[in-house]
Amino acid sequence: MISKNTIDAVFDTSRVEEVIGDFVQLKKAGSNFKGLSPFSDERTPSFMVSPVKQIWKDFSTGKGGNVVAFLMEHEHFTYPEAIKYLAKKYNIEVEETEQTDEQKQQANERESMYLVSEFANTYFKDVLLNKEEGKAIGLSYFKERGFTDETIEKFSLGYSPETWDAFTKAALDKGYKLEYLEKTGLTIVKGDKQFDRFKGRVMFPIQSMSGRVLGFGGRILKTDKKAAKYLNSPESDIYHKSKVLYGIYQAKQAIAKEDNCYLVEGYTDVIQFNQTGISNVVASSGTALTADQIRLVNRLTNNITVLFDGDAAGMRASIRGIDLILEQGMNVKVCTFPEGEDPDSFAKQNTLDELKAYLDENAQDFIQFKASILKEESKNDPIKKAELIRDIVVSISKIPDVIKREVYVRECSRIMDISEEVVFDTLAQIRNKEAKEQQKRNKQKQKPFTVERNTTPSAPTSANQDPNEPPIEAYMDMMAMEATMSGGGAPSTPKPKAKEKIDRQYELERKIIEILLLYGQKEEDFEDLILKEDDDGELVLEPEVHTAKVYEKIYLDLQDDEVEFTNPSFREIYFTLIDKLNQDENFKVDTFINYLSSEVASQITAILMNEERYTLHDWERNEIHVKKKDMTIAQITSDTILNLRGFLIDQKIKELSEITKETTVKSHQETLQDIMDYIALRRLLSNRLNRVI
């Protein structure tokens, strides 16, 4: 168990923008940061981080919370794992109490697999650096490749002994279960016998973006025609090769900083580039590039430079991945090395300046690269040339941005010496063929945040009702004011257009929770209104100023009005907040959230980050003006309470009006008088707010 002192130190030290910045490319947006959601496939930012509140919100999926919640969602950490990760990041010593046997047994299967993988990584490194066989074979190989001690340490390189079960025996001796050795693929079990999968290989650990060991790649050093040169861990609950990029853990910060990612094929390509001085490089590890791998990069940058060696056949097969990159809306460049060279050998033979210069000078646009490769194959064959042009246009069709598509159409026309009209026609045919599927995808990915108000309820009517009855006229006047407020003018004939109805009580209850979270402990001067009769017997509201804390003002006012929260979640949060604010004078939102259940914390995050969606969608630039918090805290609090009172009065008026429908005019005079009294009170509230409510 991790001690409370450690947990408190972690929360006090951690910065949500720094931690999330390791995984998502964040850009400044006012006092906040925004970026692409790491939880969904999107091209428009819907992910928001608030340094002030120390929380994050993903508007595309509804997820949100504090820094620990992010790690638990993104990296699938348990709560203790997330705390330990942050402690390591901020150099905080972890104080732990001894776990019981029962607690050890409760560790979940994934965690057990992670622990086995971490042990394997430690074991392979130890063999490489400290055992005679490891030094003589494994370390010698890495030194021959030119890898320094620092590079070997940076990538946690290791060696698995030639003995059939050396690793398995060591793991079992340390108490690790054979079940998890087999599930991670480190051990092959056949009946009563167990064998090391990576026997006699140098080891390359494959890490997640957070640095957890997911699996391994092993290269055999001896000549053996029956054995594969490279061998990877099999698929498991923690390792999915289509969702992992080798080197992403070491490269993530450099990728975000340089705003570009170099994509290579092999482990040693990544390592050699790093040793030369270029860190923003990852590898697909010999597998075909996948959309999940591209999205990993897209969280950090929108720019990819694909590096190919001089093998033409290999390039022809690899350029298929370019279409996937384009489909994600990313910018793609391609750089090839001289014949007989690959990224590993070229980086080894050149200085950092020479390597950078070569990459800058030879990185070309994907369409120029693709045309040059395919054009060589088509030679003077018109049929092959037509197929080539169509192949290029298919790639162009994958680009989401219409301006970029047109630029590339013109470029294709110039390079291939064909009219732009023909290229545009071909592009239209290809895109029309997939139009229906694309529309479905777009609907799923882009859900615009729009709300239409319909605040004009039907007026109470009755077959026996006198249309000139004063109380009912008063009610209609009140409804007309509602229409004026919502439409900005006189009420007009309702249009048959269906509109989404706003749940005003839900929004007002939500606003009260937000005020308590942000300003609960602040002391303000409140101007209360006391309902009295004047000399003429008319109801009037007289102001009376007193000083109180915001939470006290809200609690007492709602208690006086006997107001109950109708939303169960808000009701729970409300009483929890009132209790906490009453006990803790140094109440802080981030501290409060840290010790709530994940469900309640997520709801609070959604409330606090609600206004940030205006920043995300740049509503003001689109002439959608949202009211800022330029009023005083006392005004915001009082207005919200008055609005809630006004809403409840409306509900009472409607309730009484329903009664008048079921009775004769003579029998509901008292009810009509009650309606008039409530309407008068409502007008007083409207005057107090200087607007119709």
pLDDT of residue 380: 72
What is the DSSP annotation of 637-689? HHHHHHHHHHHHHHHHHHHHHHHHHTS-TGGGHHHHHHHHHHHHHHHHHHHHH
pLDDT of residue 613: 61
pLDDT of residue 497: 46
pLDDT of residue 615: 52
pLDDT of residue 490: 40
Top mean-pLDDT range of 156-160, 526-530, 605-609: 156-160
Residue 686 confidence (pLDDT) above 80: no
pLDDT: which is higher, 165 or 81:
165
Rounded mean pLDDT, 366-391: 77
pLDDT of residue 631: 62
pLDDT: which is higher, 205 or 587:
205
Per mean pLDDT, which range of 3-12, 16-25, 58-67, 554-563 is the poorest? 554-563
Per-residue pLDDT reduced to its tens digit, 248-298: 999 988 888 888 999 998 999 999 999 999 999 999 876 788 888 998 898
Q: Measuring CA to CA, how many Å separate 59 from each of 53, 96, 617?
A: 17, 36, 11
Residue with tokens 């004009």: 456
Give the integer Cα–Cα distance in Å for 606 and 601: 9
Contact 508, 647 (CB under 8 A): yes
pLDDT: which is higher, 186 or 602:
186
Give the integer Cα–Cα distance in Å for 502 and 455: 8
pLDDT: which is higher, 609 or 690:
609
pLDDT: which is higher, 330 or 598:
330
Per-residue pLDDT reduced to its tens digit, 306-358: 998 766 555 665 677 888 898 888 899 999 888 888 899 999 999 999 999 99
Per-residue pLDDT reduced to its tens digit, 494-513: 444 444 456 778 888 888 88
Give the integer Cα–Cα distance in Å for 693 and 686: 6
pLDDT: which is higher, 255 or 647:
255
pLDDT: which is higher, 443 or 595:
595
Phi/psi-derived region of residue 611, left when phi > 0, alpha when psi is between -120 and 50, beta in every other case: alpha
Give the integer Cα–Cα distance in Å for 331 and 454: 44
Q: For residue 682, name the pLDDT band (cuts at 50, 70, 90).
A: low
Contact 167, 120 (CB under 8 A): yes
Give the percent of the chain with pLDDT over 70.
Answer: 77
- CB atoms under 10 Å from CB of 397, counted, come to 21
pLDDT of residue 655: 72
Rounded to two decimals, the pTM is: 0.62
Contacts 24+ apart (CB under 8 A), 324-329: 324/289, 324/290, 324/291, 324/294, 325/289, 325/294, 326/366, 326/395, 326/398, 326/399, 327/291, 327/398, 327/400, 328/41, 328/43, 328/291, 328/294, 328/295, 328/298, 329/43, 329/302, 329/399, 329/400, 329/401
Top mean-pLDDT range of 93-97, 126-130, 450-454: 126-130
Give the integer Cα–Cα distance in Å for 68 and 14: 9
Give the integer Cα–Cα distance in Å for 528 and 23: 49
Count the helices and strands in the chain (H runs, E runs). 32, 18
Structure tokens at 19: 């931690």
Q: For residue 626, name the pLDDT band (cuts at 50, 70, 90).
A: very low
Q: For residue 599, name the pLDDT band (cuts at 50, 70, 90).
A: confident
Top mean-pLDDT range of 49-53, 456-460, 642-646: 49-53
Residue with tokens 């910045």: 21
pLDDT of residue 477: 41
Give the integer Cα–Cα distance in Å for 9 and 184: 34
Q: Measuring CA to CA, how many Å separate 214 from each of 167, 209, 241, 426?
A: 17, 10, 9, 44
Per mean pLDDT, which range of 10-14, 53-57, 563-567 is the poorest? 563-567
Contact 235, 212 (CB under 8 A): no
Residue 449 confidence (pLDDT) above 90: no
Contacts 24+ apart (CB under 8 A), 101-104: 103/1
Rounded mean pLDDT, 369-390: 77
**In the chain, what are the helix, strand and coil shares in percent, each to the nearest 5?**
55, 15, 35
Mean pLDDT taken over the chain:
79
Q: Measuring CA to CA, how many Å separate 93 from each of 84, 86, 88?
A: 9, 10, 8
Residue with tokens 């008292």: 670
pLDDT of residue 441: 60
Rounded mean pLDDT, 386-409: 86
pLDDT of residue 46: 87
What are the strands, taking DSSP E only, across 504-624? 523-533, 539-549
User: Could you tell me the domains of the chain?
Assistant: 4-89 (3.90.580.10), 109-238 (3.90.980.10), 248-443 (3.40.1360.10), 504-616+628-689 (no CATH)
Top mean-pLDDT range of 87-96, 470-479, 676-685: 87-96
Residue 614 confidence (pLDDT) above 70: no
Per-residue pLDDT reduced to its tens digit, 153-173: 999 999 999 999 999 999 999
Task: Kindly give, in sequence order, each residue whose CB lies less than 8 Å from that of residue 44, ignoring residues fewer than 6 positions away.
Answer: 446
Q: For residue 135, name the pLDDT band (cuts at 50, 70, 90).
A: very high
Amino acid identity, position 124: F
